[in-house]
Amino acid sequence: MLTPEQTVQEILDKRPWMVGISASAQDNITATFEVVGLLRKNGYMGHITIGGHFPTYEHEKILTHVPGIDSVVRGEGEITVVELAEYVKDGKPLDDVKGITFRNRFGEIVVNPDRPLVEDLDTLPLPHRDTIGILLEKNRRISMLASRGCYARCSFCSIQTFFNWRPRRVRKVEHVVREMLQLYKKYGVRKFKFVDDLFIDPSKKSRDWILSFCEKIKKAGMNDLNLWLQVRAVCVREDIFLALKEIGLKKIFLGLESGHADSLKRYQKDITPEQNVEAVRILKKVGIPEISIGMMPFEPEVSLEGMKENIEFLKKLGTFDIRDVTGKFKPYSGTSLTEKLLAEGRIKRKNWYDLGDYDFTDPRVGQLYHMVMSYFGHAKPSLKHIYQMDYRMRKIEGRVMQPGLNSEESEYKESYLALRRDIERFIQDHGEMMLQLVEGTIEAIESGMTPSMEQEWMRKSEKKFHQAEQLTIPLFERISVLESQLGLVKKEPHSLHVAEVKVLLNQNSKSLE
């Protein structure tokens, strides 16, 4: 990942007459503003435009407070940004470009009419895959898009407002399969990640689309795929996921959010905790190898009793990691829950673009969250090791999970699969460790947490997660052995090797003494 300074230098070296920045994540908007400021400071005089979810909702504020930005592309940008570029290049006034907000030559902010959404997604040109080689070298999944939008009305999500509450739009099956086949044949792509807001909806039409998609994938001869997609729990049906597993579905992200019925109502999920559990049960029965869930147990109105229900819910699922125990609703711009909290004066922000925070209605939940975040801080070193192991394991996977391996390579594959299972077990144990800490902390708060008790829990957390770090050493050693056997001994950026892990752990041990 480039630093803001490196990004600016690359732009200045290419000397473009227009710079477009995609800035959907509100969490990282400060880095975007930093890049813009550095560009102007270093003499860049071209047009700078910005787009994405956050800029769409805060377009006027951005142009008011960030003088280096000339325009904001609102909503879908494919058609708008091309038209904007043509107008800028020709030096024409921007008043007729639909879907933008801009600063005119008098310094006034002008909000042009919205641009209608693209009715037929298949009319858009295919993405320019100029960075695909870098992604394939790192054994990353290649992004695909089969649809836009979502039928649901979740209060924590901004998808509906971004698309003006339009129905979900879906590409034709033939076009999606054809694009995949081109990537399959031209670049050897096998791992695809569908970045749709929602890959399946509950309708019969959507079910028929999925079954047709699976049949056409098989007819195209793509019989060694590795697919990733995300869905809502209410959309999980056994027949659909059996068909998807047959064509290579390996990983699924399931947005569950909470195991507490009242929280689900406030989130407007239109689902029950029992339905969430049933969805995970079906996916396990079908045999989907990786089930990743999204959880936000901490929300403004949740009670301590509600948090206890979340703990029991995660135990029942048996599928979670540390982030699912610590997840919290974030007040992103464009969501109805954020608007509600703003109207109530509950969101505290340092500045207009800050994500902000809020107090929980139940102060005991606030105390719990404060302690959980301290535990999370103790867990960060071992979490970092998990990410580093995952990075290196992806490189190994790219070598040993190919068809047509010889006998020696097949042995490496078995070693890889055994190591992958042990790493997954460690990740699960890591999450359960946090779950136990949170459960015990809730009981302590209910009985009247004293400052000395709080310090004792902090020491207990620090000790537990330090022990977890120690358990990563043999896993790193096994990764290093496999890398050596496969000729992958070149040190990759951002990856720790065994000697470095031991040094780091020794340093941490001294800090605990």
* Domain assignment of residue 384, yes or no: yes
Asked if residues 122 and 169 have their Cβ atoms less than 8 Å apart, the reply is no
- In the chain, what's the furthest Cα-to-Cα distance? 73
pLDDT score of 2: 81
Assess whether 98 and 174 both reside in one domain.
Answer: no
Higher confidence at residue 475 or residue 3? 475
> Is residue 405 pLDDT above 80, yes or no?
no
> Is residue 160 pLDDT above 80, yes or no?
yes
Q: What is the pLDDT of residues 108-137, one digit of tens each?
A: 999 999 999 999 999 999 999 999 999 998
- For 95-149, give the secondary structure using H, E and C: CCCCCEEEECCCCCEEECCCCCCCCCHHHCCCCCCCCHHHHHHCCCCEEECCEEC
Domain encompassing residue 128: 121-329
Please identify which residue in the block is written with the tokens 């800050």: 354
Assess whether 392 and 301 both reside in one domain.
Answer: no
> Is residue 503 pLDDT above 80, yes or no?
no
* Domain assignment of residue 349, yes or no: no
Please identify which residue in the block is written with the tokens 């029942």: 316
Assess whether 107 and 125 both reside in one domain.
Answer: no
Give me the mean pLDDT over the 273-292 stretch. 96
* Domain assignment of residue 394, yes or no: yes
Tokens of residue 59, six digits? 């377009």
From 56, 85, 111, the end of a domain falls on 111
Give me the mean pLDDT over the 17-41 stretch. 93
pTM summary value: 0.90
pLDDT score of 490: 56
Give me the mean pLDDT over the 71-84 stretch. 97
Assess whether 383 and 483 both reside in one domain.
Answer: yes
pLDDT score of 496: 52
Q: Using CA atoms in the order 315, 319, 322, 324, what is the torsion angle rounded to 10 degrees?
A: -80
* Domain assignment of residue 68, yes or no: yes
Assess whether 262 and 129 both reside in one domain.
Answer: yes
pLDDT score of 410: 79
Choice among 97-111, 125-139, 196-210 with the minimum mean pLDDT: 125-139
Distance CA 513, CA 506 (A): 11
- The CATH number of whichever domain residue 9 belongs to comes to 3.40.50
Distance CA 476, CA 303 (A): 41
Choice among 406-410, 417-421, 422-426 with the minimum mean pLDDT: 406-410
Percentage of the chain beyond pLDDT 70 is 95
**Strand order across the 290-295 sheet:** 142-144, 191-194, 226-232, 249-257, 290-295
- For 327-391, give the secondary structure using H, E and C: CECCCCCCCHHHHHHHHCCCCECCCCCCCCECCCCCHHHHHHHHHHHHHHHHHHHHHHHHHHHHH
> Is residue 513 pLDDT above 50, yes or no?
no
* Domain assignment of residue 343, yes or no: no
Mean pLDDT of the chain: 92
Assess whether 508 and 400 both reside in one domain.
Answer: yes
C-alpha pair distances (Å), 107 with each of 110, 113, 476: 9, 19, 57
Distance CA 339, CA 422 (A): 44
* Domain assignment of residue 336, yes or no: no
pLDDT score of 511: 43
pLDDT score of 497: 52
Overall number of domains in the chain: 3
C-alpha pair distances (Å), 188 with each of 112, 398, 513: 43, 12, 52
